Copies of this chain bind each other. A is one copy, B any other.
Amino acid sequence: MMNEYDLIGIDPGLKSTGYGIISIKRKKIFYKASGKITTNPNDYESERLREIFQGLNEIVIKFKPYQAVVEKIFVNVNASSTLALGQARGVAIAALAGHQIEIHELTPLEIKKSVVGTGKANKKQVQFMVKELLHLHRAPESDASDALACAIAWHNKVKFQ
């Protein structure tokens, strides 16, 4: 494992895909960037997926992360939302795949347990812990926080390996 590298976390979704980049320096984490790519529900689905792909692609080109962690999808009881999420997740993986980035995955449960200490944590608790762990003045908005939490949880998982 390198001493210094950037890690991107991604929380995929058709309406909004969150991303968060942290830098790892001698096993410590530092905030680098975060945000979300939102799409317009009135646009064609293929256009929306294109926007997610292009948005993530630009972010990857800009920040050149070494590794990526993509939140695993909770298989929904609603088949059409599972499909929509699956497509958004496929697009996110494709955006990373074009740049030879190692791709890992974590479930929402693993992320919450790692960052908040309990799998039952709500969005506000995740935001609070992300703010604390990254020494930010203000918590990033929910989708960005989820993506940062994803990256932090991956770092927690591998830091003692």
| Residues in A lying within 8 Å of B, measured CB to CB | 45-46, 49-50, 53-54, 57, 70, 73, 75-77, 79-80, 82-95, 97-98, 103-105
Question: Quick check: A46 and B105 within 8 Å, CB to CB?
Answer: yes
Report which of B46, B79, B82, B97 forms a contact with A49, defined as CB distance below 8 A: B97
Q: Are B94 and A86 in contact (CB under 8 A)?
A: no
What are the residues of chain B within 8 A of A80 when measuring CB–CB? 75
Within the assembled complex, what's the spacing in Å between the Cα atoms of A49 and B87? 11
**Least CB separation from A54: chain B residue:** B97
How distant is the Cα of A21 from the Cα of B54 in the complex, in angstroms?
Answer: 25
| A77, closest chain B residue (CB) | B79
Number of copies: 2
Across the interface, A46 reaches (CB within 8 A) one of B46, B70, B88, namely B70
Question: Which residues on B sit within 8 Å (CB–CB) of A57?
Answer: 98
Given contacts A46-B97, A76-B79, A89-B90, 15 further A-B contacts (CB under 8 A): A46-B104, A49-B93, A49-B97, A53-B93, A79-B79, A83-B83, A85-B86, A86-B86, A86-B90, A88-B90, A90-B91, A90-B93, A90-B94, A91-B91, A91-B94
